[in-house]
Amino acid sequence: MAAKPIYRVVVHQQGEIWDLYVREIFQSELWGFIEVEEFVFEDASRVVVDPGAEKLQRTLEGVKRSYLPLNAIVRIDEVEREGPLKAVKSDARVAEFPRPFSLPPRGEG
């Protein structure tokens, strides 16, 4: 039997870019959201400790399912194996899509 695929989901979350690894991803019944389940964490026995990854793992500890807004998802990739969780500050401005806009003023005439 083939192993379940692993997906890397890159999410923009409050000024940070998060790399998450999950086994299940699908369209939510809640309009405008994607559901992700079965988070995959890298082996805890590794020597190098990344404080950002540890913080993210603590944040997701015990989470069964997450509902991610479509406008926060930057990218979804199917990958061969999990990688390290990442939570890095975003220097670039990431705009939501669709972005609300105001109509131009009406001309007099």
Structural domain contains residue 95: no
Q: Which domain holds residue 51?
A: 6-79
| Structural domain contains residue 86 | no
Flag whether 48 is in a domain.
Answer: yes
Walk along the chain (109 residues) and give the pLDDT tens digit of each residue: 568 899 999 988 877 888 889 999 999 898 889 999 988 877 665 555 667 777 778 888 888 899 999 888 989 999 988 887 777 777 766 555 555 566 677 776 5
**Backbone phi and psi for residue 51, each to the nearest 5 degrees, phi listed first:** -60, -35
Q: Examine residue 70 and state whether it is found in any structural domain, yes or no.
A: yes
Distance CA 42, CA 46 (A): 8
Q: The pTM is what? A: 0.72
Decide if 57 is inside a domain.
Answer: yes
72 Cβ contact partners less than 8 Å away, ≥ 6 residues apart: 11, 12, 13, 96
Q: Is residue 1 situated within a structural domain?
A: no
| Sequence-separated (6 or more) residues with CB below 8 Å from residue 74 | 10, 11, 12, 17, 94
Look at residue 88 and tell me if it is in a domain: no
Give the chain's domain count. 1
Residue 105 lies in a domain: no
